[in-house]
Chain A
Amino acid sequence: MLEKLLSHLTGQAKDERDNLFLGVFTHEDDTLEATKACREADFNFYDVFSPYAVHGLDRAMGLPFSKITWVTFLCGAMGTMIAFFGMSYIAAWDWPLNIGGKAPFPFPAMIPIMFELTVLIGGVCTMLGLFALCRLFPGKKARLFHPRITDDRFVIAIEIDEDFDEAKCREIFTKHNVEEMKEVDPDYEASPEGGSA
């Protein structure tokens, strides 16, 4: 059910998706160089998987700069506005109160709260925005392309479409010390107990 909904959301019917060609690597630098070579060969990446963030991998894959900064900025600005208008309404307009002999519209006293709500809403929305952009949600099933992908293996997954050239891809992978290569169907998943991918 959930899977059906998701494939609707990602805009692809199940049977239209391409098969994937996987290359398993043991070293970060090999993965990075192989990724660059695949991009030069005009292959389309399904994704590149690594146990930790690899510096420069996003640029090697040709990913655009993340839009998460806009989420942070706009939600932070929204937090500032909520605090400012909220306090103005509560303390100065709806029910003016004399607190400590200050004017009914105590702007300096509002600034710390505006700052706090900017940080709070900006921060929480950054996290939620990151989940949305990564299509992450509580209870999402992890999809493993290799049993040791969270440990010490790197996987490049390439879509087998009209741009794909298997012989060339095998050549690139082999040149960069690939450990294992294979073609799999779109729903492929390695068993977490180990064995071969």
Chain B
Amino acid sequence: MSATIIDEPEKFSFPTMVKLGCFAAIAVGLITFGLSFIGGSDVAFGGWAIASWYVVGFPLFAMFFLSINHLANAGWHVTLKRVPEAMTTYFLPGLLTFAVLCLSFLSTGDHQLYGWAHLNPDHHDAHTELIQKKAGWLNVPFFLIRTGIYFGLWTAFAWAIVRVSRKQDEDGDYKHTFTARKLAAVFSIVFGLSVTFASIDFIKSVEPTWFSTMFGVYQFAGIIESGFAMLILLLLLLRKLGYFKSAVNVNHFHNLGIWLFASATFWAYIWFSQFMLIWYSNIPEETAHFVARWNGPWFWVSFALNPIVNWVVIFFLLLPRPNKRNPKILAIAAVSALIGRFIDLWQFVTPTPHNNAEGVPEAHLLPQAMFWQILIVVGLIGFFLLVTLKALEKAPLLAKKDPYFEESVHHHI
């Protein structure tokens, strides 16, 4: 079979309009972050924690996507693999956003996002005592070290996998595919452990007295779902701009639609399992988290909006085969997944009782905090797009020397 000639631009150039859009989003996000301190430092840093963790999920997803495709010896993704490769460059800028998040330890306001960092040692209530028992893990220096370790590992593996792919661009040697597969095998273990620990550190430690054995996999499911949504939207944007016109066809989108459908369903499975096991066993240290959300206005967010936007909409939209091949419906489902990811993190972080100045948790239910926090997320998504599209300019859009390139061009389902 002769090699297919693809007549389309091989180099991506970042359109000024899109770049301006990214800068505008970043400006809105930063201004909102500044203004949201009016609502309290826990509202501002809560929004920042949601946004940083939300957006660092995209490069994590990209690494997961590249790794499983290498491990499964899959070829269909090769024409579009430069997009996830570009997404992985966000790890270092992402570390910057987490450095800003760590500034919350300096804040001495009434309500603290990470209450465990400001325990009042003179307080001898049960709550303080429970958290003090965890001080070996939950203390500021170790938290900073762990943040460094996570990002160090992620950056190193991202650099290694992208480097292998670039080398193959030069010499076309198939041995690079095997090198990437070995890296992917090691990374899949690193990924599973680091995502679990990082999600517990950055998000779950907002409520340090809560127990859930499923939290790591719950966050993993959310990361994968929103990641596929972002990849689909990025590819649709690139096609609008005139790239990937023939190399990424409706069959690739069909595959991505299947993935989005599957990951949304997986998220729903994990989300429900976490709730049901806790509801069933009815142990106070586990149920406290859900009691705060079951009663009052948050019920509609946590138990109605969250599953509907994250799963029901996507499930029924993408169930029929023709819908997975329809870019418009796929885009609606992807937007639903991105909104759902925000709702999922928002209903976790914001209604959690934060410690007041005495170190006593105080209910601080603020559904209106959404308007601050969603704009902070928009700002960091703009930052992510800026970094990703900038990185996309640096390499050829099509990995033509990948041994699976031909298979991917002719991908057909």
Q: Say if the beta carbon of B174 comes within 8 Å of chain A.
A: no
Bound-state Cα–Cα, A185 to B319, Å: 44
Chain B interface mostly: helix
Q: Say if the beta carbon of A100 comes within 8 Å of chain B.
A: yes
Question: Do A101 and B282 have beta carbons less than 8 Å apart?
Answer: yes
Q: How many residues of B contact A (CB 8 A)?
A: 10
Closest B residue to A55 by CB, please name it: B412
Q: Say if the beta carbon of A12 comes within 8 Å of chain B.
A: no
Question: Do B319 and A109 have beta carbons less than 8 Å apart?
Answer: no
Binding stretch for chain A, among B9-17, B196-204, B271-279: B271-279
Question: Do A56 and B276 have beta carbons less than 8 Å apart?
Answer: no
Question: Do A108 and B275 have beta carbons less than 8 Å apart?
Answer: yes
Q: Say if the beta carbon of B175 comes within 8 Å of chain A.
A: no
- Against B, the Cβ 8 Å flags (1 = close, 0 = not) of A89-111 are 00000000000111000001101
Question: Do A108 and B280 have beta carbons less than 8 Å apart?
Answer: yes
Q: Find chain A residues with CB under 8 A from B321 CB.
A: 65, 69
Q: How many residues of A contact B (CB 8 A)?
A: 12
Bound-state Cα–Cα, A111 to B280, Å: 12
Query: Min CB distance, A167 to chain B, in Å?
Result: 32
Q: Find chain A residues with CB under 8 A from B272 CB.
A: 108, 111
Question: Do A111 and B412 have beta carbons less than 8 Å apart?
Answer: no
Bound-state Cα–Cα, A29 to B196, Å: 48
Query: Min CB distance, A123 to chain B, in Å?
Result: 16
Query: Min CB distance, A173 to chain B, in Å?
Result: 24
Closest A residue to B276 by CB, please name it: A108
Question: Do B282 and A111 have beta carbons less than 8 Å apart?
Answer: no
Query: A109 and B276 in contact (CB under 8 A), knowing A55-B412, A65-B321?
Result: yes
18 new A-B contacts at CB < 8 Å, known A108-B276, A112-B276: A55-B412, A56-B412, A65-B321, A69-B320, A69-B321, A73-B319, A100-B280, A100-B282, A101-B282, A102-B280, A108-B272, A108-B275, A108-B279, A108-B280, A109-B276, A109-B280, A111-B272, A111-B276
Closest 6 CB pairs of A and B: A108-B276, A108-B279, A111-B272, A109-B280, A111-B276, A69-B321
